[in-house]
Structure 1
Amino acid sequence: MGEVALTAAGLYVIVLLRAGGTFAVGWLAGAGTRRSRFAERISAAKFRRAERAIQRWGAPVVAVSFLTVGFQTVANFLAGSMRMPLSRYLPALFVGGAGWALVYATAGIGALHMLARLFAERTVLGVAAVAGLLLAVCGVAVYRRRNASPARGDAEAGEPEGPHRAV
């Protein structure tokens, strides 16, 4: 079995367990989450956008969410909390998870090979590249944390109050 295929298979198992687990947590939490201390986080703009997308488009949103960063977990959790039927969720999980595993396996292995070659041929440049990447990631994290706006209530956003159940 090739390097990419083996990596993709391993990543596929990981994403099925992680996303399926997130869906299960959402399913178990159900509407109770909206009345808990996590209600403020769930009313954040990211959650409201995801919920509206899932209500409108259903399972395809879950499948496409695997090709995004930061939306995947929200989409899987909300699909569970909105009680999306397994007959619609599982195909989205399998297709989206396969896409995620293939993208990360091919891009990940390519990046690792490039870094290995860079370190072998020009070690100082390799160290500088890794340090620059780490600084950029930390900078983005600090920027996002400082500029995060406080969550607004659904009433402020012009949305009706209460949980939506359409899936």
Structure 2
Amino acid sequence: MSFDSILELPLGWAYLTLFVVVMLRANATYWVGRLIVAGGRRSPKIERFLDGPTMARAEKFSRRWGVLAVPLSFLTIGIQTAVNLSAGALRMPLSRYLPAVTLGCMIWALIYSTVGLAAIQAVFLALAASPWALVALAVAVAILLGVRRFQKRASAAVAPEQDRAGQG
């Protein structure tokens, strides 16, 4: 069954089919990551991949976003597999991984069964064609990063106060 034939199915069946396929693939990737780290013989090709730039980006992405890296990776192109592999390699607990990967797979299946990659590419092309759209996107990203930084600083300031309160 090809991707195009899946998209010819009624929406519910297309969504369900894509969800099952991506869920199987993502979980298989997670378990491959766990097996690679558990030992066994590694080929030079696997070693190059594990030490390569894609895994480095995935690990940086995972360190920054924590467990949210898993569902967020389904919105990216190029590091989704590496994030799932690194989640396995880092032995992310299944109690965290399974809800995160399920959410990511649901999002991915929704995108691909409805608007698909063509719509996502159209958005990027529109952004590239309009300097104002790029400015708006940059402002939105700057606001999100500012809010995230503010939240981190606020939580870091609260932590010492909670420690002092617990010692009294």
Mark yes or no: TM-score above 0.5.
yes
Find out whether 1:82 has 2:90 as its counterpart: yes
Find out whether 1:97 has 2:111 as its counterpart: no
Q: Distance in 2 between the 1:86 and 1:48 partners? A: 22
Find out whether 1:61 has 2:82 as its counterpart: no
Unaligned runs of 5+ residues in structure 1 are 112-167
From 11, 14, 25, the counterpart of 2:18: 11
- 1:57 Cα deviation (Å)? 2.2
SS at match of 1:58: helix
Q: Is the 8 A contact 2:36 2:42 kept in 1?
A: no
Q: Distance in 2 between the 1:32 and 1:46 partners? A: 21
Which structure features the higher share of helix residues? Answer: 2
Q: Is the 8 A contact 1:34 1:42 kept in 2?
A: no
SS at match of 2:114: helix
Q: Distance in 1 between the 2:59 and 2:41 partners? A: 13
Match of 1:29 in 2: 36
Q: Is the 8 A contact 1:33 1:39 kept in 2?
A: no
Residues 45 and 55 (structure 1), Cα distance of their counterparts in 2 relative to 1, 3 Å cut: same
Q: Distance in 1 between the 2:40 and 2:77 partners? A: 23
- 1:35 Cα deviation (Å)? 6.5
**CA RMSD in angstroms, aligned pairs only:** 2.5
Task: Give the partner amino acid of 2:19.
Answer: Y
- 1:60 Cα deviation (Å)? 0.4
Q: Distance in 2 between the 1:24 and 1:41 partners? A: 16
Residues 104 and 63 (structure 1), Cα distance of their counterparts in 2 relative to 1, 3 Å cut: same
Structure with larger RCO (C-alpha < 8 A, sep 6+): 1
**What TM-score, normalized to structure 2?**
0.59
- 1:51 Cα deviation (Å)? 0.9
**What TM-score, normalized to structure 1?**
0.59
Following TM superposition, the consecutive aligned residue runs of length 4 or more in structure 1 with deviations greater than 4 angstroms are 33-36
Q: Distance in 1 between the 2:83 and 2:100 partners? A: 11
Find out whether 1:20 has 2:27 as its counterpart: yes
> For this pair of structures, how many residues does the alignment match?
110
Identity of aligned residues (%): 46
Task: Give the partner amino acid of 1:81.
Answer: A
Unaligned runs of 5+ residues in structure 2 are 1-8, 120-168
From 51, 55, 62, the counterpart of 1:47: 55
